[in-house]
Amino acid sequence: MSGKEAQRLKKLKATDLAPWATSFWVVHRKPAQAPFVYNVLRVSIDKKLERRLKRYVKAQVQDREFRLEPYDFSNADPGESLLTLDADTTDFTKVRDAIGQGFDNPRAKSHAELLGSFAYVVLFEKDGEHLYAWSKINTLNSPRKAVRTKTLYFQDQKLVDVEDEEVFMIDPRFDFFVFAGTTFIASKSAFESSMNFREGMKAKSRELLEEFASMAFLSDVEPIRAYVGENQHHLRKLAAIKNAGYYSSPTYIERLMRVCRDEGWNLKIEGGKIVVEEETMDLLLKLLNNDRLRSPINDEVFDSSAKKAVSQPGAGA
């Protein structure tokens, strides 16, 4: 992790958002398949809501301590961490550019214009600086959900039907923030579904299988292609293998085959190639991503996709 993300987060945490202008935008995404087009509508909000939105940012990010980790396809959903990614590598640039058109965007004039929203974005800005806070609309904060569940409000000493109030639900937690060129991700799953990262995983998978075919250390790549298909878990695994890049070293592949024979692991190796079989596909993908590890404490062997190199004593001295 480079220091720039840490410095940007430090600056964000220290920023007093009280004097920053606040605007609220709903996002519509179309068509159903990528590449997506994003349109935005301006939504008028009152001063009370502005203050509440700033409190949400303060509670979620500014008043908490986080570890920063670079985003990777294999990351788990962060808890006490924020995942970081260059903001220009995501679909958010399309949303940012749409919001950047400012008053050229239409203003939402009816509740019906909010019902089909894909997400909403709160923009805080001052003196040329911008903080974007994104929340994907899901079943919990969908305005349609509020209508279907017959939510009632107690106002002026009486219950009020939600249909009379034309409710729009918001969540006190945002999925990710974009500030000073960095995306800070609080919900990995929501980020990936919002920013079209499934297509990114599919592209990585295609590139990887093409490399496998050219390297010729596997008997056949087509069974892998059929096994992975459109399955998001399997696509994520191939994308992680591509990013880690262990397979690109001939020495790594040679040692992988030797260790499989020595340890009695079930990969079939014939004629200097790994035979790709459906029944050992999961093991093959784990080993290509170096997911089988041994504890130096009790010599136990276990599978883990979460790998963080441990500094050796005296390293870098």
Top mean pLDDT of 121-135, 224-238, 298-312 is at 121-135
Q: What residues have CB less than 8 Å from 187, skipping those under 6 apart?
A: 77, 78, 173, 175, 176
φ, ψ dihedrals at 72, nearest 5°: -145, 150
DSSP assigned state of 105 = S
Q: Where are the domains of the chain?
A: 3-195, 199-289
- Rounded CA separation 93/96 (Å): 5
Nearest to 206 by CA among 239, 165, 237: 239
Contacts of 160 (CB under 8 A, 6+ apart): 152, 153, 154
> Cα(239)–Cα(243) distance, rounded to whole angstroms?
6
Mean pLDDT of all residues in 281-287: 94
pLDDT at 317 over 50: no
Share of the chain above pLDDT 70, in %: 86
Cis, bond preceding 70 (omega within 30 deg of 0): no
Strand order in the sheet with 67-70: 37-43, 21-30, 119-126, 129-136, 176-179, 182-185, 81-86, 67-70
Residue among 188, 176, 171 at smallest CA distance from 78: 188
Q: How many helices (H) and strands (E) does the chain have?
A: 12, 14
Residue 1's pLDDT band (cuts 50, 70, 90):
very low
Q: Residue 74: what are its φ and ψ, rounded to 5°?
A: -90, 0
What's this model's pTM, rounded to 2 decimal places? 0.74
- Between helix 232-244 and helix 281-288 the angle, nearest 10°, is 30
pLDDT greater at residue 145 or residue 315: 145
User: pLDDT tens for residues 45-58?
Assistant: 999 999 999 999 99
Q: Which two tokens stand for residue 158?
A: 């009486």
Tell me what pLDDT residue 180 has: 95
Each residue's pLDDT tens digit, 19-34: 999 999 999 998 767 6
